[in-house]
Amino acid sequence: MTGMNQDNRQDGKRMHRTNDERTRQHSSGNGRPVSERQGSHAAQKGPRTGKYGPSSPRQGGNRPPRQRPFQETNAKQARDKNALPSPGRRAALKVIGQIYEDKAFISLALDACFEKEHMPQVEKRFCTSLTHAVIENQYRIDYVLDQFLKDKDNLNPQIIYILRMAIAQKLFMDRVPDSAIADEAVRLARNCGLEGMTGLVNAVTRNIFRALDSDFKWPERETDPVEYVRVMYSVPKWLAVRLAEEYGQEEAERICGYRGTHPMVIRPNQMQYASASDFKARVLDKKVWETEKAPWLDAFYVRGAADISRDADYSQGGFSIEGISSMLAAEAVQVRPGERVLDCCAAPGGKTAYMAEAMKGSGRVYAWDVHDHRVALIRAMSHRLHLDNVRPMVRDASLFREDMEDSMDAVLLDAPCTGLGVMDNKPDIKYKVTPEQVEELSALQEKLLDTCSRYVRRGGTLVYSTCSLLKEENENRIRQFLQTHPEFSLDTLPASFGETLLSHCGPFGLQILPHRDGGLDGFFIARMRRK
């Protein structure tokens, strides 16, 4: 494809939908555990408020230190000086450095760390929670830090990361005592060979904690709503402005402030099980996992599944790991047995598999991607699920193929996009996207729609989807497409979406919002029919 850097566009934008990455994430313990966050996926409808502002559960102060004899205190100080910081904090510092310095993706950096570092599962969970807290709330943390450290740009970056970690624990991890946070921050600095900076770390940390417990001043929503959203929900200023323009200030704040739990989602192989209840009885009821039927399609929420990639039913193709919004995009196509279907930007293949299974192994699903290594993921998926009707191919979907014009019963274009619809799950995404990239992606989406729509036969179906929240990538794209392609008209989404979701459909498609729609990934889905 043309446009922005291909690897960044494809790998970055689609990482939230990659089944293999989701498998590694949950099996290695780098998914944010439910116990570390408040509420359920369905209960959180907007930002929480508390002593430290939105999404800040921490309360209370420090317990007064127990008095010790002078000699015992000196002995304790000697022991503490030689003590190592906790494994979870050491790992988090390493991962945070890779994210800031190497532009690593948060989930991939955590996966790589856990493959190398051997630590208890509880330390992996702590490392994951701390890393997400720092990255997810970077602007808010730096707003605090800037009040107490005016020359932080001249300090060793490791010190800045350590201080960000300390503030994140204070604001967002209420089970960690202040004294432990400060002591561990000093140990981290010492462990990095920065003994000369331990005094600064200790002083700044404790000064910040005292201020946060008393009269720290945050931006005021009434006087500067954009600055309030930028700081308190840690989003770039341009994005805070754009969302407020498109959704209104209150809804924009709900969008930016939402924090979900993101349990693993699985669905049965439609060729092996007759229904969700059949799958539950034959597979899930025999597992030790905690499972819950999702309100949409045949999806299940799963918790407590350790290293699911080794599960026999998964290895033998009994089920797939796939987000519900991704399933809905494939469901919108409404494939029928024997049809010829094109999935234009298919990797890693979740929607391809959904449609191939719905066709009961008949017909053909042509699955394209521009990168060979990503097409390899589709092949591996098809082999595991025993899908003989999938045809993976390395193809640039922006280049028209005359031999395929008017030949497809249905085309699914899940277009490259900013990925801002999953920024609560992948918090590093919101810092990587720029207004210039939005324009580049919008131009690419327009070209892909123009090209791929030509493959749809008369009377056939075209489905366009993204995992974005911006109207420039979604509603405006479809509005312009329908104006320049009068041979297409908007078609209704299937009843299987459910009444609640369907009630949110607009004149050019459905925009799914995580905070409003039960924690679903933020997707846009439009179904069109060629006249």
- In tens, the pLDDT along 215-246 reads 899 999 999 999 999 999 999 999 999 999 99
Residues 373, 505: one domain?
yes
Please indicate, yes or no, if residue 159 is contained in any of the structural domains: no
Banded model confidence at residue 419, pLDDT cuts 50, 70, 90 = very high
Q: Flag whether pLDDT at 2 surpasses 80.
A: no
Q: Are 455 and 339 part of one and the same domain? A: yes
Residues 366 and 476 in one domain: yes
Query: Rounded to whole angstroms, what are the CA distances from 345 to 41, 367, 487?
Result: 29, 7, 23
pLDDT score of 75:
45
Same-domain status, 234 and 374 = no
Residue 3 reports pLDDT greater than 60? no
Q: Are residues 504 and 360 part of one domain?
A: yes
The three-point CA angle 78-80-83 to 5° equals 115
467 tagged catalytic: yes
Please determine, for residue 28, whether its predicted confidence score (pLDDT) is greater than 70. Answer: no
The candidate with the shortest Cα–Cα distance to 13, out of 527, 521, 528, is 521
pLDDT tens track for 161-198 = 999 999 999 999 988 899 999 999 999 999 999 999 99
Query: Is there a single domain that holds both residue 389 and residue 476?
Result: yes
Look at residue 410 and tell me if it is in a domain.
Answer: yes
Q: How are beta strands 340-343 and 364-369 bridged, if at all?
A: parallel
Note whether 232 and 335 are same-domain residues: no
Please indicate, yes or no, whether residues 230 and 334 belong to a single structural domain of this protein.
no
Q: What is the pLDDT of residue 46?
A: 46
Residue 23: pLDDT above 60? no
What are the tens digits of pLDDT across the range 105-155? Answer: 999 999 999 989 888 999 999 999 999 999 999 999 999 999 998 887 789
Residue 56 confidence (pLDDT): 46
pLDDT for residue 52: 54
33: in domain: no
Indicate whether 442 belongs to any domain: yes
Confidence of residue 84 (pLDDT cuts 50, 70, 90): confident
- Domain co-membership, 505 together with 381: yes
Q: What is the pLDDT of residues 304-322, one digit of tens each?
A: 887 788 899 999 999 999 9
Provide the percentage of residues in the chain whose pLDDT is more than 70. Answer: 85
- Residue 43 included in any domain: no
How would you label 61-92 residue by residue, b for 16+ Cβ within 10 Å and e otherwise?
A: eeeeeeeeeeeeeeeeeeeeeeeebbbbbbbb
- pLDDT of 355 over the 80 cut: yes
Task: Report pLDDT for 25.
Answer: 41
pLDDT digit string, tens, across residues 452-506: 999 999 999 999 999 999 999 999 999 999 999 999 999 999 999 999 999 999 9
Total Cβ atoms within 10 A of residue 203 = 12
Instruction: Name which of 83, 82, 77, 112 is nearest 95 in CA terms.
Output: 112
Give yes or no for residue 427 having a pLDDT over 80. yes
Residue 71 has pLDDT above 80, yes or no: no
- Same domain? For 484 and 364 the reply is yes
Shared domain check, 520 and 431:
yes
262: alpha, beta or left? (left if phi > 0; alpha if psi -120 to 50): left
Output the pLDDT for position 80.
Answer: 59
Q: Looking at residue 421, which CATH number applies to its domain?
A: 3.40.50.150
Q: Which is nearest to 268 in space by CA: 284, 285, 292?
A: 284
Q: Answer whether residue 365 is part of any domain.
A: yes
- Residue 514 within any structural domain of the chain: yes
Picking from 235, 257, 279, the residue at the C-terminal end of a domain is 257
Look at 340 and 261; give whichever has higher pLDDT: 340
The answer to whether the CB of 527 falls within 8 A of the CB of 492 is yes
What is the number of structural domains in the chain? 2
Structure tokens at 393: 């191919």
Q: Are residues 473 and 349 in the same domain?
A: yes
pLDDT score of 29 more than 60: no
Q: Collapse the DSSP code of 373 into the 3-class scheme (helix H, G, I; strand E, B; otherwise coil) and give the result.
A: helix
- Model confidence, pTM: 0.83
Task: Establish if 293 belongs to a structural domain.
Answer: no
What type of residue is 333?
V
- Candidates 192, 344, 417, 467; catalytic one: 467
Pairing verdict, β 456-466 and 524-530: antiparallel
Residue type, 330: A
Domain boundary among 214, 234, 257: 257
Give the helix/strand (H/E) hosting 282.
helix 276-282
Query: Is 64's pLDDT higher than 80?
Result: no
Instruction: Show the domain range for 490.
Output: 6-23+323-530
pLDDT value at residue 453: 98
